[in-house]
Structure 1
Amino acid sequence: MTLDMVPKGQEVVIKSIKNKNAKIYALRFGISEGSKVKCIGKIKNGPVILRKNHQEIAIGQGFAKEIEVEIHK
């Protein structure tokens, strides 16, 4: 599943980030492969809002489609 398909309120683990620019952007905020994040909001045809620890980041739709995730159990 990709990040753009994650429902609001779901915790996921980042499995892979395909796009180099998306990987660099995510790393600036401490998000990398293996990170656990929570989807706290989605804007229709807009960004996915994530929370890691007490920090929030908005990931654009284009980048979100390049990030593979799996549901955290």
Structure 2
Amino acid sequence: MTLDQTKPGQTFLIRSIDDPAARLAAIRFGIAEGSRASCQTVLPGGPVVVRKGKQEMALGRSLAHRITVELVEG
């Protein structure tokens, strides 16, 4: 599944980021392959708000669509 398909409250691991430009953009947000984070909210037609540690960030839908995630418990 991709990051833009997650629902609030779900925790996930970043499995892959499909292209170099998207990977670089994600790294700027502190998100890399192998990172664990959780979905805080998904704004209708807007960004996906993600929490990693104590940091929250809003990722645009086009970037979130390029990030493959795997859901984890807790």
TM-score (norm. length: structure 1): 0.93
Moved over 6 A (4+): none
| Residues in 1 aligned to 2:61 and 2:2: alpha-carbon distance in whole angstroms | 10
Aligned residues: 73
Q: Which residue of 2 aligns with 1:12?
A: 12
| Residues in 2 aligned to 1:43 and 1:58: alpha-carbon distance in whole angstroms | 10
Q: Which residue of 2 aligns with 1:72?
A: 72
Q: Give, as a single letter, the amino acid of the residue that structure 1 aligns with 2:11.
A: E
Root mean square deviation, CA, Å = 0.9
Task: Say whether 1:47 aligns with 2:34.
Answer: no
Q: Deviations over 1:12-68 (max 9, x none)?
A: 000000122221111122210000010001101111000101111111111111110
| Residues in 2 aligned to 1:62 and 1:28: alpha-carbon distance in whole angstroms | 15
| Residues in 1 aligned to 2:19 and 2:53: alpha-carbon distance in whole angstroms | 24
Task: Say whether 1:57 aligns with 2:37.
Answer: no
Q: Which residue of 2 aligns with 1:25?
A: 25
Specify every segment of 5 or more residues in structure 2 that has no aligned partner in the other structure, as ranges.
none
Q: Which residue of 2 aligns with 1:38?
A: 38
TM-score (norm. length: structure 2): 0.91
